[in-house]
Amino acid sequence: MPATRLSDLSEADLLARLFPVYAGAKGGTADVVIGPGDDAAVLAAPGGSVVLTTDTMVRGRDWRDDWSSPHEVGHKAVVQNVADIAAMGATPTGLLVALAADPATEVDWALGLAEGIAAAAREASAPVLGGDLSSAGPGTVMVAITAVGDLGGRAAVRRDGARPGDVVAVCGTLGRSGGGLQLLLADRGRTHDAPDAMSAHRVVHDLCLAHRTAGRPPWEQGPVAADAGATSMIDLSDGLVRDLGRIARASGVGVELDGEALREHAAGPLTEALGADEAMRQVLSGGEEHSLVATFAPGEVPTGWHLLGRCTAGAPAVLVDGAVPVVTGWDHFRG
Amino acid sequence: MPATRLSDLSEADLLARLFPVYAGAKGGTADVVIGPGDDAAVLAAPGGSVVLTTDTMVRGRDWRDDWSSPHEVGHKAVVQNVADIAAMGATPTGLLVALAADPATEVDWALGLAEGIAAAAREASAPVLGGDLSSAGPGTVMVAITAVGDLGGRAAVRRDGARPGDVVAVCGTLGRSGGGLQLLLADRGRTHDAPDAMSAHRVVHDLCLAHRTAGRPPWEQGPVAADAGATSMIDLSDGLVRDLGRIARASGVGVELDGEALREHAAGPLTEALGADEAMRQVLSGGEEHSLVATFAPGEVPTGWHLLGRCTAGAPAVLVDGAVPVVTGWDHFRG
């Protein structure tokens, strides 16, 4: 029997299948006054302000169908948005989902995407409040997520508040998603539909999974860091050195990272799967990790955060053991 | 000299060009605590809740480059979102903009889009709070807007509150955008780069412009209707009969429209450009008009709203002079 495609359903039929999938995610700190189905959603903003971010994933650019299941794509799309909310010191409270897809897209794929979105929405206690469906050209599938958050009366933690003398700390992993991407690119990775192929190594599997799903960054530590007095914070989207460079430039501080602390993060599974040199390269420049990096006054680092270095009065750049690290980066349009 | 394309710029360079364009739109009722450039934006929510909606436009599906300038596309993308905010009885307070584009897209096109977004953002007093840039496959351009609104302490006006005996009223035009689309499809319309071609008629020009830009719906009348006690409200996205059908089904009421009132809307420019029959068809089923339609207790209709009919205890359907109207509709995936 041929697969059912979006073009086989009316928009109303598709929505009727999607709504129950999303209904599984319940709210956390903010009440959903009006959920999906009206012109717009209404969400309580108990802290008197609202935190907002949007991030898009495009098939063939941000994921490959031969690597990632639709569930994994949906999960990752939510995680990267929720991490941005956490990096302001806020708690996620809701999501909007815009899907633009080739009408030839299989309905099961769209439902799998929704299940992945709903699964991450449940983990984050950020229910799907509404969304939009659009058709797109042949082969095109794009999911744009908007995440909403609440600061609970806290001041937001920006990128521009780091001061010389502050320490730099990370909460969460480093280099795992980038390491997984390297393994997938080198055809050493496990993909969602070939769990036993390519490699018998558990560590390889885990790294590739981290790349495909974005895992479960410690987003509840964003508000913890804010309450502890974090002077700046960012989530790791484009790699430790690039993202800390943003804090350095915005705050006008130098950042000196401790090579020994970084090598501790590179040791273990990353080095086992990639070798020591590539593991260190991923710790410094691997993207899409979505761990939180923040600066604190010395002695104010919360439990669960790990010291990586310190801020200086030097030029706004990132150094490792006093030297400029060689890192690669990702640019959306130049690739 | 060849056109500069997105692939010729770094993401940072492109953002540096976009930020000043968006900086022109200032806020209205809600303070922007943190605007573009951090992990997420922070917006005041003075009413203690926030209204949220998202709507996407895709090149070749929602606009044609041979008809619409990038400025017109950007304007329309904002208007359709702001109308959804207004239809809840809320005031727009901010926008997020996600652009996914083929790296071969001309930079001037992306800047024109941003200028159209900024122009509509200024009209709506809804500043651009942030966004996202992504690359997409050959020929693909997609813009997903999220609009945020504030109810100012009002209860939101939903689709499900209409009662038998309520009157149905519209604020804004009917059938103009759909009429313009018909003219463009029939090659009788003026497009942005051929203002003097095809037709010398001002009315044709105006209708086509209404389709390309979505005009300036009376969104400030959303809160006015809410304050006047509107029992239900919707903005006209998919045509009067289809959108009122949503109110009818959600509220469990029948809707009886008065043919004479509708013919008054079809008279004048619409009939001049399209003939009486097609003008009436567009009044009933033309989409993307984004005028507001609401139900009120008799005698509570605000100034500037025009009566179209009434709600009954009949079956949840829309009748015109007691008969089922023949209307066409639009379905994203079935086309």
For B131-163, the DSSP string reads: EEEEE-STT-EEEEEEEEEE-TTPPP--SS---
Q: Flag whether pLDDT at B99 surpasses 60.
A: yes
Q: Write the pLDDT tens digit of every residue in B253-267.
A: 999 999 999 999 999
Q: Flag whether pLDDT at B335 surpasses 60.
A: no
| Model pLDDT, residue A198 | 47
Asked if the Cβ–Cβ distance from B103 to A335 is below 8 Å, we say yes
Please tell me which of the candidates B11, B57, B83 has its beta carbon nearest to residue A332.
Answer: B11
Strand order in the sheet with A91-101: A128-135, A91-101, A141-150, A49-58, B41-44, B32-34
At B8, list the tokens: 């010729």
Q: Around Cβ B153, how many Cβ atoms within 10 Å?
A: 9
- For residue B250, list chain A residues with Cβ-Cβ distance below 8 A: 37
CA distances from B273 to A57, A128, B2, B10, B103 (A): 43, 43, 40, 47, 40
Which residue's structure tokens are 């998202």?
A: B54
Please tell me which of the candidates B54, B94, B334 has its beta carbon nearest to residue A98.
Answer: B54
Q: Flag whether pLDDT at B330 surpasses 50.
A: yes
| Model pLDDT, residue B235 | 98
**Tell me, which fold does domain B167-320 have in CATH?**
Phosphoribosyl-aminoimidazole Synthetase; Chain A, domain 2 (3.90.650)
The full set of domain ranges for chain A reads: 6-150, 167-320
d(CA A135, CA B58): 8
Q: B163: exposed, middle or buried (C-beta count within 10 Å: 0-12, 13-18, 19+)?
A: middle
Q: Flag whether pLDDT at A332 surpasses 60.
A: yes
Quick check: B120 and B78 in contact, CB under 8 A?
yes
| Model pLDDT, residue B295 | 98
Q: Write the pLDDT tens digit of every residue in B214-226.
A: 999 999 999 999 9
Sequence-separated (6 or more) residues with CB below 8 Å from residue B263 = B280
CA distances from B317 to B243, B294, B320, B325 (A): 11, 16, 10, 10
Quick check: B221 and B293 in contact, CB under 8 A?
no
Rounded to the nearest angstrom, the minimum Cα separation between A275 and chain B is: 31
Q: Flag whether pLDDT at A223 surpasses 70.
A: yes
Q: What percent of chain B has pLDDT over 90?
A: 87
At B324, list the tokens: 């089922």
Query: Between residues B101 and A331, which one has the greater pLDDT?
Result: B101
Q: Write the pLDDT tens digit of every residue in B1-22.
A: 789 999 999 988 999 999 999 9
Q: How many CA atoms lie within 13 A of A160 on its CB side?
A: 4
Which residues of B, range 77-136, sit inside 8 Å of A by Cβ? 83-85, 87-88, 90, 94, 96-98, 100, 103, 129-136
- For residue A335, list chain B residues with Cβ-Cβ distance below 8 A: 7, 103, 135
Sequence-separated (6 or more) residues with CB below 8 Å from residue A236 = A170, A172, A174, A243, A287, A288, A289, A290, A291, A292, A293
CA-nearest of A250, A230, A225 to A160 is A250
Asked if the Cβ–Cβ distance from A45 to B41 is below 8 Å, we say no
Q: Flag whether pLDDT at B231 surpasses 70.
A: yes
- Nearest Cα residue in chain B from A106: B333
Quick check: B88 and B44 in contact, CB under 8 A?
no
Q: How confident is the model at residue B199 (pLDDT cuts 50, 70, 90)?
A: very low
Phi and psi at residue B23, to the nearest 5°: -65, -15
Strands (E), A151-231: 167-171
Pairing of strands B141-150, A292-296: unpaired
Instruction: Report the alpha-carbon angle A6-A11-A15, nearest 5.
Output: 95
Q: Span A85-113, mean pLDDT? A: 98
Helix (H) or strand (E) holding B99: strand B91-101
d(CA A103, CA A160): 44
Q: At B192, is the secondary structure helix, strand, or coil?
A: coil
d(CA B290, CA A290): 39
Substitution target from B14, B29, B50, B141 for chain A, most A beta carbons within 10 A:
B50
| Model pLDDT, residue B275 | 95
Q: Flag whether pLDDT at B194 surpasses 70.
A: no
At B303, list the tokens: 């100034």
- Superfamily holding B6-150: PurM-like, N-terminal domain (3.30.1330.10)
Q: Around Cβ B111, how many Cβ atoms within 10 Å?
A: 18
At B318, list the tokens: 């829309």
What DSSP state is assigned to residue A309? Answer: E
Q: Flag whether pLDDT at A310 surpasses 60.
A: yes
Asked if the Cβ–Cβ distance from B42 to A51 is below 8 Å, we say yes
Which of A9-13, A191-195, A291-295, B242-246 is predicted least confidently? A191-195
Quick check: B138 and A61 in contact, CB under 8 A?
no
| Model pLDDT, residue A329 | 61
Evaluated on CA atoms B198, B203, B208, B213, the torsion sign reads positive
Q: Flag whether pLDDT at A199 surpasses 70.
A: no
Asked if the Cβ–Cβ distance from A49 to B53 is below 8 Å, we say no
d(CA A205, CA B10): 33
Quick check: A36 and A22 in contact, CB under 8 A?
yes
Please tell me which of the candidates A10, A98, A139 has its beta carbon nearest to residue B331.
Answer: A10
d(CA B25, CA B75): 13
Please tell me which of the candidates A52, A136, A148 has its beta carbon nearest to residue B61.
Answer: A136
Beta bridge pairs of residue A63 = A59
Q: Does B196 appear as a known binding residue?
A: no
| Model pLDDT, residue B197 | 47
Q: Around Cβ A51, how many Cβ atoms within 10 Å?
A: 31
Helix (H) or strand (E) holding B128: strand B128-135
d(CA B257, CA B322): 8
Quick check: B168 and B255 in contact, CB under 8 A?
yes
| Model pLDDT, residue B192 | 64
Q: Around Cβ A235, how many Cβ atoms within 10 Å?
A: 26
At B112, list the tokens: 């024109």
| Mean of per-residue pLDDT scores for chain B | 93
Q: Flag whether pLDDT at A30 surpasses 90.
A: no
- For residue B90, list chain A residues with Cβ-Cβ distance below 8 A: 40
Q: Flag whether pLDDT at B318 surpasses 90.
A: yes
Q: Span A258-282, mean pLDDT? A: 96
d(CA B252, CA A225): 50
Q: State whether residue A222 sits within 8 Å of chain B by CB.
A: no
Q: Span A52-69, mean pLDDT? A: 97
d(CA B264, CA B198): 27
CA-nearest of B225, B14, B229, B230 to B108 is B14
Q: Flag whether pLDDT at B61 surpasses 70.
A: yes
Q: At A301, is the secondary structure helix, strand, or coil?
A: coil
Q: Write the pLDDT tens digit of every residue in A237-259.
A: 999 999 999 999 999 999 999 99
| Model pLDDT, residue A192 | 64
Please tell me which of the candidates B58, B88, B335 has its beta carbon nearest to residue A100.
Answer: B58
